[in-house]
Amino acid sequence: MNLDPEVSRLLDLMPASARMMTKLVAKPEQRQVIYTDFPVPWQREKPIYLNFDLWRRLSKPERDLLLLSTVSWVTGIKWFKPDIYQGVVLAGVLGTIVELAQSDAVGIVVAGGLTGLAATQIWRSNRSSQTWIEADKNAIAIAGRRGYQMTEAATHLLSAIVATAQLEGRTGLDFVELLRCQNLRAIANISPVGIPEDRLKHI
């Protein structure tokens, strides 16, 4: 595969905001078709690694939806957003500083523990399966602005997830991928059973 036209095409496919936040990187030695590290707050540019030898074996619509889903996931992770846990972390950090200034050992432990607990909750929510479900929905919405029908886009993403596992030599899908496929089947009208939002919050 000639990489330059494909990379240019993929960049054109992505939303403008994602082009500023991400970078497509060829990585032929990796086993994954497409991979990105979990983004951390201090990381300005988020690299997305592609094994183009495996990538070219997917159909163009599968590549489109797989990229859009990955881009939506990596740009959708929000470390700083107004919610109760962000407030608790901020309060905990300020409380720890105050207690350190006052040399209050018990206060330091309590404030530090509160900060750690809230930070752990933020970490867990960012790594939950719901973030991938939302990324898939966002990818389908972006694909809709690129000429795809919603059910068509969901079908292509579904087949891309399954094909990717096969190309990577895996025996099956992991738990999150199974949940994503179940949700995509519902969107594509292949199966009437989706995943309730309240259930996603606990997965």
Q: Express each pLDDT in 16-56 by its tens digit.
A: 989 999 999 999 999 999 999 887 777 788 999 999 999 99
Q: Do residues 136 and 108 share a domain?
A: no
Which amino acid would we find at residue 97? I
In the sheet that holds 22-26, the strands lie side by side as: 22-26, 46-50, 34-35
Which of 93, 68, 57 shows the shortest CA–CA distance to 169? 57
Q: Which pLDDT score, from 0 to 100, does residue 118 have?
A: 47
Two structure tokens written together for 96: 């720890």
Name the residue among 87, 86, 115 with its Cα closest to residue 100. Answer: 115
Same domain for 121 and 195, yes or no, is no
Contacts with 115 (C-beta within 8 Å, 6 or more apart), sequence order: 88, 89, 92, 93, 95, 96
User: Do 13 and 74 sit in the same domain of this protein?
Assistant: yes
Look up residue 197 and give its two tokens: 């939002």
How far is it, in rounded angstroms, from Cα 190 to Cα 176? 19
Confidence at residue 89, expressed as pLDDT on a 0 to 100 scale: 47
61 phi, psi to nearest 5 deg: -60, -35
Kindly state whether residues 66 and 134 are assigned to the same domain: yes
**Which residue, 64, 4, 73, 5, is CA-closest to 35?**
73
Same domain, 122 and 165: no
- Last residue of some domain: 126, 157, 192? 126
Question: Domain check: are 121 and 143 in the same one?
Answer: no
Tally of domains within the chain: 2
Strands, E assignment, the chain: 22-26, 34-35, 46-50
HSE toward the beta carbon, residue 51, CA cutoff 13 A: 15
The pLDDT assigned to 79 comes to 57
The verdict on 131 and 157 lying in the same domain is yes
Strands 22-26 and 46-50: parallel
pLDDT of residue 45: 87
What is the biggest distance separating any 2 CA atoms in the chain, rounded to whole angstroms? 64
Report the chain's C-alpha Rg in angstroms: 20
Amino acid 80: pLDDT = 52
| Residue 39 DSSP label | P
72 and 146 together in one domain:
yes
Instruction: Note whether 88 and 114 are within 8 A (CB).
Output: yes
- My answer on whether 100 and 146 are in the same domain is no
The residue segments making up the domain with residue 69 are 3-78+127-200
Shared-domain flag, residues 179 and 115 = no
Residues of the chain short of pLDDT 70, as ranges, are 1-2, 78-128, 191-203
Q: Are residues 120 and 154 in the same domain?
A: no
